[in-house]
Amino acid sequence: MLRVVLLMIPLLAGLAQAAPTQISQRPVSLQTSQGELFGTLVTPKSSTAIPVALLIAGSGPTDRNGNNPGGGNNDSLRKLAYALAKHGIASLRYDKRGVAKSQPATPDERNLSVERYVEDAVDWSRQLKADKRFNKLVLIGHSEGALIATLAAPHAGADALISIAGSARPIDQVLREQLSRRLPPGKLAVSMRILDTLKAGKTTDDVPDDMQVLFRPAVQPYLISLFRQDPARAFAELKMPALILQGNHDIQVDVADALMLKEANPQAQLALIEGMNHVMRIVALDLKAQLASYNNPKLPLARELTQHITDFIQNFRT
């Protein structure tokens, strides 16, 4: 009988370790001077205070889950939230103002700006900092959200920052590079003229019909605010632990950007993830496969991504 009991002890211990984490999800909101924003708080069950991450989505009408009505239904941020919860880390993700449930807060995109997005991230952070269930706050920004997180972190009381697929260069430079690879000479010249005008802080109504999606007059005020930003310079000014994550199969942001961020802030940690693309999946460097991954929520997140994030959050020192 003693032998049976002794054999059962490690078995029971193993079962206890394998037991799934109890996770709760609930809607949350934030009252701001310019309307109400909405998000989702995911928390693993814990009897002690735990870390919390504020997840900040990328460019355009990307919602709290990382999805975009233009064909980007991949659930990247929702999956990240649950991956963190399984490792004892809470998270809050939210619809940016003007997007999804937060659309009424700023229904006219002419009134959107990087500065307003930064203020929102700071306000969400302060709400989380006031919650006694959490003992440290980490801002996690994806793509353009990495810039918003970088600008917000010093004012948000954040303990650390994680940049996923964040550009190091001013975004107008990135657009120039992307457009130069895709447009014929005539259209490229028109695009460069528009970019020069916006970079100078001026709007223009002289936008061809086939360029309205990118340069429509309503989005130009936001682009002007975006083009003012220097991501590498902002990253260099961070005084907190930081982690840079970048996939080498990302067709939107290059590994060179991650290396530039690391050069700007040598104290930051850097992890390059083999095979990971812009939506945080392991995907071949094939355009068809890449584009398909942007609209496939069934694809799992890159395992190495979640490992780096959870290890960093659990082990960084302030």
Please state the rounded mean pLDDT for residues 214-226.
Answer: 97
Judge contact between 294 and 60, C-beta under 8 A: no
Domain definitions of the chain by residue range: 23-169+230-315, 171-228
**Could you report the per-residue pLDDT of 145-198, keeping only the tens digit for each?**
999 999 999 999 999 999 999 999 999 999 999 899 899 999 999 999 999 999
Environment class of 263 (CB within 10 Å of its CB; exposed 0-12, middle 13-18, buried 19+): middle
How far is C-alpha 176 from the geometric centre of its chain's CA atoms? 22
In the block, tokens 């942001």 appear at 253
**Structure confidence by residue, pLDDT tens digits, 36-46:** 999 999 999 99
What pLDDT sits at residue 2?
Answer: 33
Look up the CATH number of domain 23-169+230-315: 3.40.50.1820
Poorest-pLDDT segment among 4-13, 65-74, 178-187, 306-315: 4-13
The closest alpha carbon to 148, from 78, 79, 97, belongs to: 97
